[in-house]
Amino acid sequence: MTTWSAPGIPARGRCLVMGVVNVTPDSFSDGGLCFDPKAAVRHGLELVEQGADIVDVGGESTRPGAARVSLEEELARVAPVIEELSRRGVTVSVDTMRAEVAQAAVEAGARLVNDVSGGLADPAMPRVVAASGVPYVVMHWRGHSHTMDSRAVYGDVVAEVCEELAKRVASVLAEGVAEEQIVLDPGLGFSKNAEHNWALLAGLERLAGLGYPLIIGASRKRFLGRLLADPGGTPRPFRDSDDATLAVTALAAAAGAWCVRVHDVRPNADAVRVAAAVQRARS
């Protein structure tokens, strides 16, 4: 079903699964689990065993309200983990908004740059990505974590996200990034409330109409916890929303997503296989 491909990332004839390794003490959904580099490498290898096609290594939390870490700190967190996972044959992506981190990560073996700011946070990013030749995730983003909730204002969220992503695409192409390097992401939860996230998931076909592979990151996000709130309105904790993540994965894969970014890899790897089997049976 999935006809999309990205240079250097093995195609599997189905939606790919990206497993998350956050080398941070305070991440949105798995804070602290992988702060030690050895634990991070161990977790990355576990995710591959569970079916991850790509392991996404990040050193800066993007949870709402999070403060930025220094360049030096971010580099120190991610570089050893990327180097070791790459040495062991894992397809690694780096989750960073900084060109210098992306550069160091690619030198350490990363095969994809995942920039949640889509090149807006660091103007040097597109040129570094262009020179590296690796796929580049351009996510829809309106500002850093401390301001993002106040920017969640849309008329037609799908139309505006499409429009803003198209502008980012034009800008990174002008900086030398090649068409085939580009992967798009609607940025669920980034300057979006629950209603916006659901509308974007309902509008994946319109996003796919931009003509680039799509990656979807719904895993353990607040909008799932809110959907699953108890009768008193208390949101479900992040970790108890993994079954809901799975449902999003199945729907996204069925809608033709290129990749899903998830924390709990094994069931999501099963879900993308189910979606691919249904699609094969249909064609």
The H-or-E segment that residue 38 falls in is helix 37-49
CB of 116 to ligand PMM, least distance (A): 5
- 22 near ligand PMM (CB under 6 A): yes
Of 63 and 279, the one with the shorter C-beta distance to ligand PMM is 63
> With binding defined as CB under 6 A, does residue 29 bind ligand PMM?
yes
Q: Which of residues 239-268 bind ligand PMM (CB under 6 A)?
A: 261
| Span from 70-78, 104-112, 153-161, 185-193 in contact with ligand PMM (CB under 6 A) | 185-193
Tokens representing 138 are: 């351009």
Binding range to ligand PMM, per CB under 6 A, among 7-15, 46-54, 96-104, 212-220:
212-220
Q: How far is the CB of 220 from ligand PMM (least distance, A)?
A: 6
CB of 277 to ligand PMM, least distance (A): 26
Question: Shortest Cβ distance from residue 216 to ligand PMM (Å)?
Answer: 7
Which tokens hold the place of 59?
Answer: 């050193």
Size of the residue set binding ligand PMM (CB under 6 A) = 19
Chosen residue from 9, 220, 224, 241 binding ligand PMM by CB under 6 A: 220
- Print the binding letters for residues 135-164 with ligand PMM: x by CB under 6 A, - otherwise: --x-x-------------------------
Sign of the CA dihedral running 14, 8, 39, 95? negative
Site membership for ligand PMM, residue 116 (CB under 6 A)? yes
Per-residue buried b or exposed e for 121-154, using 16+ beta carbons within 10 Å of the residue's own CB? bbeebbbbbbebebbbbbbbbbebbeebeeebeb
- N residues, the chain: 283
Distance of CA 31 to the CA centre of its chain: 17
Q: Pick the closest to residue 48 from 26, 16, 24, 25 (CA basis).
A: 16
Q: Which one of 1, 215, 248, 272 is in contact with ligand PMM (CB under 6 A)?
A: 215
Distance of CA 185 to the CA centre of its chain: 7
Q: Which helix (H) or strand (E) holds 260?
A: strand 259-262
**Which residues are tagged catalytic?**
221, 261
Largest Cα separation within the chain, whole Å, is 53
Q: Show contacts with ligand PMM in window 68-97 (CB under 6 A).
A: 95
Residues 6+ apart with CB under 8 A from 120: 141, 168
Smallest gap from residue 95 Cβ to ligand PMM (A)? 5
**Closer Cβ to ligand PMM, 86 or 197, answer by number:** 197
DSSP state letter for 205: H
Q: Measuring CA to CA, which residue among 265, 274, 94, 116 is closest to residue 185?
A: 116
Tell me which stretch binds ligand PMM (CB under 6 A): 24-32, 72-80, 142-150, 151-159.
24-32
How much is the CA Rg of the chain, to the nearest whole Å? 17
Q: Which is nearer to ligand PMM, 187 or 203 (CB)?
A: 187
**Positions in the binding site for ligand PMM (CB under 6 A):** 20, 22, 27-29, 62-63, 95, 114, 116, 137, 139, 185, 187-188, 215, 217, 220, 261
